[in-house]
A and B are shown apart, each in its own frame.
Chain A
């Protein structure tokens, strides 16, 4: 038997097989992983492309981690009796609503959400100073034992009468979406307080590659149609979100996935899948 000839035939056969397999893999990746195209695109190129769509970027920097841990988070359940006692002192309970003095507190979604409303008529039109409001809010949150070192003030605004402050839960300084404390202060009093708060229960050892911001913007561009009115992007932030299933689950707990959150000057928010 001519071994040398057999080896030649075998080499040719294997090369052809590898070419077919390689082509199959290349084809499936180019079909299903369009993001690979975006990897070659620079931030400047993306900015240029977005501007052609009437979208402009006006922000300073983007915080980016190339890998993120998988995490599991659970919504904290309020203890209505304890909360009502701290805020109202004595109270009357009607279903899930606690009434005392000039306040009414409602609890919903298995006590995951709470909303306190001031029902008095003595609200003033006097402007409250935002810095002063922050101190009042801080004291109020501490009084309820809801102070969390992993939280960030994400919104502070005033309509001339009241000051609205929104705090968001963070994980390693990244946002944890749909986890907030919203406080409205008027006349040095907290007149509205709503809270829904996530707690990270597990940080898994497993990590995921995170798509770079340029790629996230490219994907955003891909999803966005042409805008008649100019859009100005003011923030591109990395964080986690729960949910996202097709059953509109009223989430109590679960595994969170990384997202890029793109905010605009007009207040629109877009989410781009960040794990690859």
Chain B
């Protein structure tokens, strides 16, 4: 009987020890682990598919006539319907390479053209299709063409890499037909391809690859009237974040135990939380920029799958406040640095239907998350939102063609090298043909008393992005393209 009592006591002691050690391990896991970043508001984390979407939406009416779509509800509808078609195709689709000529015909036919923000591959197509694809034909694409005249087909293309793929699948129709009809039946701004406006092929020889490359950029033939300067406000600007919210952010970043977290105030009013001796830092900037940094990531080289890294990025971002509904992935870089494998997601959001980006030495996404060896080592979040339009009398937009004429000499600086004996006219056409990207964006200007969102045309030539004033067509600045661009 006495032995039984001893056994009971031993069980009690062992059980208590077990509980204490489990508690200790739980504490270790919960403090300073970035997984804590997603403990709050998990329900509001956007799905991966919700954030993979086009940068530009173009509706084509056939015969080379197009228009840009800037209505966000319509953009969403176009994308939802397009993703449905991609999913349909995942069952019966056959992917096959096509020629540049077939691609150009598809671009000019009636349908929808979706310009992706970065070069996508089969892994991302599979993410949209929600099904594993092993076509082997899709290497890289940044434009999707959904023709409505050929309902059982869509095209994926990357002009700069000369890769074009057609997907043929079983389909009885396309919901995009109705959208194209709807857009056509309302007043719209006419867009034409660079080729249609300048007749580039008549000057350059399409057979000569050195001179000519396909170009699917479209431009408005008349000034757009939709855009105004915007007054902007930052969600986390000076004084708008309570001390309690700051502590909550710090707890999200470093774990619930803040005893080894110190708080520092910057002369400019920014607040910085530092974990330990600087292994991790969180800054809530006076300008509303939230930034998290972690030094010394794990040394074991580890690359996360795109989908997993994307989900972890979004979960981490939600921990620092609500995300905009129209957030999307605007860039993705995957590489090797001194510290190991790095994966960087850039996120942007839209204002008045066009992307909002920052100018910081180069064009930067307002939100960015970097993984090093599978751990988040850098996170920045700039949450600006519209606080009304700014009206002034001189707000007439310059016609796009006039703007190009006005800035042609500056664009030449980043253009291709002149060949011996080349005429000015021939060189000008070659430069036009080499424009990689034309898009309308809002950029942030904090130079004055108030933050302003300025509509600007972004024109990518060579390795530079030129920013041109939407209203007077003047050159604002030119910046290097991060990662070489599209």
Contact = CB atoms under 8 A, between A and B. Distances in A.
Interface in A22-49: 22, 24-25, 28
Interface in B116-140: none
Contact of A7 (B8, B25, B277): B8
B11 interface: yes
Interface string B264-302: 111110101010111001010000000101010000000
Contacts of B263: 254-255
Contacts of A250: 266-268
A206 B17 CA distance: 28
Interface in B181-228: none
B413 to A, nearest CB: 34
B278 A244 contact: yes
Contact of B4 (A7, A14, A15, A247): A7
B277 A257 contact: yes
A245 B18 contact: no
Interface string A184-207: 000000000000000000000010
A255 B264 contact: yes
Given A11-B10, A11-B11, A245-B281, A253 B24 contact: no
B21 A252 contact: no
A28 B278 contact: no
A110 B270 CA distance: 14
B471 to A, nearest CB: 35
A51 B247 CA distance: 46
A21 B28 CA distance: 13
B426 interface: no
Main secondary structure of the interface of B (DSSP, over half): mixed
Contacts of A4: 3-4, 7
B265 A14 contact: no
A249 B266 contact: yes
Interface string A244-276: 111101111111110000000000000001010
B4 A3 contact: yes
Contacts of A10: 11
A245 B28 contact: no
B291 A247 contact: yes
B259 interface: yes
Interface residues of B, number: 35
A245 B4 contact: no
A129 B356 CA distance: 65
Contacts of A11: 7, 10-11, 14
A223 interface: no
Nearest to A29: B28
A242 interface: yes
B404 to A, nearest CB: 41
Contacts of A14: 11, 14-15, 18
A46 B260 CA distance: 28
Contacts of A254: 262-265, 272
A109 interface: yes
Contacts of B265: 251-254
Interface string B18-53: 100110110010000000000000000000000000
A176 B354 CA distance: 51
Interface string A145-180: 000000000000000000000000000000000000
Nearest to A28: B28
A25 B25 contact: yes
A3 B4 CA distance: 9
Contacts of B7: 4, 7-8, 11
A21 B15 CA distance: 12
A121 B7 CA distance: 92
Interface of B: 3-4, 7-8, 10-11, 14-15, 17-18, 21-22, 24-25, 28, 259-260, 262-268, 270, 272, 274, 276-278, 281, 283, 291, 293, 295
21 contacts: A4-B7, A7-B4, A7-B7, A7-B8, A14-B15, A15-B14, A18-B21, A21-B25, A25-B21, A244-B277, A244-B278, A245-B264, A245-B272, A246-B278, A247-B291, A249-B283, A250-B267, A250-B268, A251-B264, A251-B266, A275-B260
